[in-house]
Homo-oligomer: A and B are copies of this chain.
Amino acid sequence: MPRHVDHAQRRSEISGAVWQVVSESGLEGLTLRAVAAAAGCTTGMVTHYFRDKKALLAHARSVMHRRMADRIDAMPVRHAEPRAHLYAVAEQALPLDEERHLEAVVWSSFLLTTRTDPELLREHSVSHASWLRRLTALVRAALPGEPEPGDLEDRVRALVVCLDGLALNAVTDPDAYPPDLQRRVLDRQLDLILEGNRSL
């Protein structure tokens, strides 16, 4: 056998270059040659590790999702208070530092491409439902009493759209949505979601 190369690592490196290109040039500038240039290699190497462009994007996408999930999973649960725990988890979805900003840019760019691809839409739906379930458990734990199911669901939706809206705006216009503003809005949103019971 010839010399040994870590395929998984090479593929991850190239996927990292995909993120870089998307961040700098958007999806419209995402070409195999641009990816190769960002990765410091040739297009031959890219095609050596990925059958075609679609496979490359799928890998870059899955690495992105894996990274996000891992960051949340690896988060130590050192918060005795349920609200602090909820905040800590929710905060992971915000582009508060450079790493998460890059992820948010890639996330938002890929998100819109799922609209016209049924297969990707299904993946997104599953992932989104999982994210909702996770937040639902945390919100329930942070609520004082036992909420009604519909009420709880609406609260979680309000939280999710807040997170997505913050991320989207921070990606589009970072200067208008600096990290401290994002934190303030999220903190306030948790206050709003967790306080009071719905009038029936």
A residues in contact (CB < 8 Å) with B = 24-29, 105, 108-109, 111-116, 121, 124-125, 128-129, 154-155, 157-158, 160-166, 168-169, 171-173, 176, 181, 184-185, 188-189, 192-193, 195-196, 198
How far, in Å, is A155 (CB) from chain B's closest CB? 8
CA–CA, A24 to B115, complex, Å? 9
Of listed A129, A161, A184, A195, residue having the most chain B CB within 10 A: A161
Cα(A114)–Cα(B151), bound, Å:
37
The residue among A24, A184, A188, A198 with the most chain B CB atoms within 10 A of its own CB is A188
**How far in angstroms is the closest Cβ of chain B from A196?**
7
Within the oligomer, what is the number of copies of this chain? Answer: 2
Residues of B within 8 A of A121 (CB): 172-173
Nearest Cβ in chain B — how far from A120, in angstroms?
10
How many angstroms between the C-alpha atoms of A168 and B161 in the bound complex?
A: 8
State whether A169 and B164 are in contact (beta carbons under 8 Å apart), knowing that A125-B176, A128-B176 are contacts in the complex: yes
A108–chain B nearest beta-carbon distance, Å: 6
Given contacts A165-B161, A166-B161, A173-B121, contact A113 B26 (CB under 8 A): yes
What is the bound-complex CA distance between A167 and B196, given in angstroms?
A: 26
Chain B residues within an 8 Å CB radius of A164: 161, 164-165, 168-169
Complex Cα distance, B188 from A189, in Å, reads 12
A-B contact pairs, 25 of them (CB 8 A): A25-B116, A26-B113, A26-B115, A27-B112, A28-B28, A28-B113, A112-B112, A112-B172, A114-B172, A125-B173, A125-B176, A128-B173, A154-B185, A154-B188, A158-B188, A160-B169, A161-B162, A161-B185, A162-B165, A164-B164, A164-B165, A164-B168, A164-B169, A165-B165, A165-B166
